[in-house]
A and B are shown apart, each in its own frame.
Chain A
Amino acid sequence: MELALGIILGCCALGAGIAMIAGIGPGIGEGNAVAKACEAIGRQPEAKGQVTSTMIMGCAIAETTGLYALVIAILLIFVAPSSFANVLKEAIK
């Protein structure tokens, strides 16, 4: 029983950590977007406002995949262990 609970907790934590690898993608993507926006502003300083608002929108959309991973990680840490433990208890009964 204790071993099984330990495996559940450990694997939930590991899974949360592995899920957050997805943070790499949005990081690179947003970095590219901001770099290009800086170039665009350098080329056309008068279009600064429009470029900035478009960049923020693009960043927000690029961030979505990272946030999916974050939500999964939060679920794995705060919600999954107790529900899995309940499943285990039911199975042992």
Chain B
Amino acid sequence: MNAQSRRFRAVDFLYLCIMILPLICAMALKVCFSVSGEGVQIAGAQIYFTIPMPLMDMPFTEAQVNSWMVIISVWGLCLFMTHGLKVKADTRRQHLAEWCVTMCKKLVNENMGEFFAGYTPFIGAIMAISLFSSLMSLLGLFAPTSDLNVVAGWAILVFALITAAKCRCGPLLYMKSFCEPIPVMLPMNIISELATPISMAFRHYGNVMSGAVISVLISSALSSLSRMVLGWLPGVLGDIPFLRVGIPAVLSIYFDVFSGCLQAFIFAMLTMLYVSGGFPMEEYLRRKAADKQPAKKQSVRLFE
């Protein structure tokens, strides 16, 4: 019993390491590669290294590396939460894990319906990665969601999912849906179809990025203000930006925590609405019924 519990603890420790080490790794990389400089720095993701490729050099940026770190970290979190599950929940982490899964199922059931219950893991995954990517800025790291490329990748993935759902009754019906309500609307429909991933990517990126830019601007403004007001203090005291302490943290509650959670929720919600709205439910049910009917007749005949 004792050995088993020791093993349990060791595995627990391993999972915690998987969870925390990537974040420390990302911090170390940032410290190693950071360019020291004075004043306001509003820049995109840093390029760590580039790999020469035939068509174009492939840059590995901070955003890419951080998003991989988030993926590994969320994986570790999931392993940790589901470690040692019992039929009757008695640990805190199992209660939390069950609550998360129940919430995801409820959300998908409410917004998409019973039929789409298979999408629950995808929705949960996209919500988790979006949430933790945005919250990464709380650790002082570059949030992967404030890089357009990362979010655009997710948006393209979701767009493929939406198109797959629309093509469920054959590509012909999908093509026909562009000519509705009248064929003249064809270019409009194509544009609005293409606008879906672009607007999803821009919405997420724009919200997180604008928060980051405003935070940097306000903190730099506060430091110059404190130099103006408190600059007369003697020695080192005059150089410390006192006004910069605390005030940007209050703003960070809105821009990082609230906005990050809201954008994760909205991204998942829009995915659900687009997928369930694009699915040709009536046609699918009609075909299913039509498929079943001949089979029924045959069986009846066999019986006779």
Query: Are the chains A and B members of one assembly?
Result: yes
Assembled-state Cα–Cα distance A74/B210 (Å): 9
Contact of A78 among B42, B206, B262 (CB under 8 A): B42
Residues from chain B with a CB closer than 8 A to the CB of A68 are 202, 206
Is B213 touching A67 in the complex (CB atoms < 8 A)? no
B270 interfacial by beta-carbon distance below 8 Å: yes
Is A70 touching B262 in the complex (CB atoms < 8 A)? no
Give min CB distance, B207 to chain A, whole Å.
Answer: 7
As a 0/1 sequence over residues 255 to 288 of chain B, the CB contacts with chain A under 8 angstroms (1 = contact) are: 0000000100110011001000000000000000
Assembled-state Cα–Cα distance A80/B203 (Å): 21
Interface of chain B: mostly helix, strand, loop or mixed: helix
Is A63 touching B209 in the complex (CB atoms < 8 A)? no
Interface size on A, as a range, is 10 to 19
Give min CB distance, A18 to chain B, whole Å.
Answer: 18
Is B203 touching A67 in the complex (CB atoms < 8 A)? yes
Assembled-state Cα–Cα distance A68/B202 (Å): 7
Contact of B210 among A57, A60, A64, A70 (CB under 8 A): A70
Interface of chain A: mostly helix, strand, loop or mixed: helix
Is B206 touching A71 in the complex (CB atoms < 8 A)? yes
Residues from chain A with a CB closer than 8 A to the CB of B213 are 74
Within 8 A of B (CB), among A20-45: none
Is B262 touching A64 in the complex (CB atoms < 8 A)? no
Known contacts A74-B209, A78-B42; decide if A64 and B266 are in contact (CB<8 Å). Answer: no
B199 interfacial by beta-carbon distance below 8 Å: yes
Is A60 touching B209 in the complex (CB atoms < 8 A)? no
Is A64 touching B202 in the complex (CB atoms < 8 A)? yes
Pick the 5 closest A-B CB pairs, nearest first: A67-B206, A60-B266, A64-B199, A70-B206, A67-B202
12 new A-B contacts at CB < 8 Å, known A57-B270, A63-B207, A68-B202: A56-B265, A56-B266, A57-B269, A57-B273, A63-B203, A67-B202, A67-B206, A67-B207, A71-B202, A71-B206, A74-B209, A74-B213
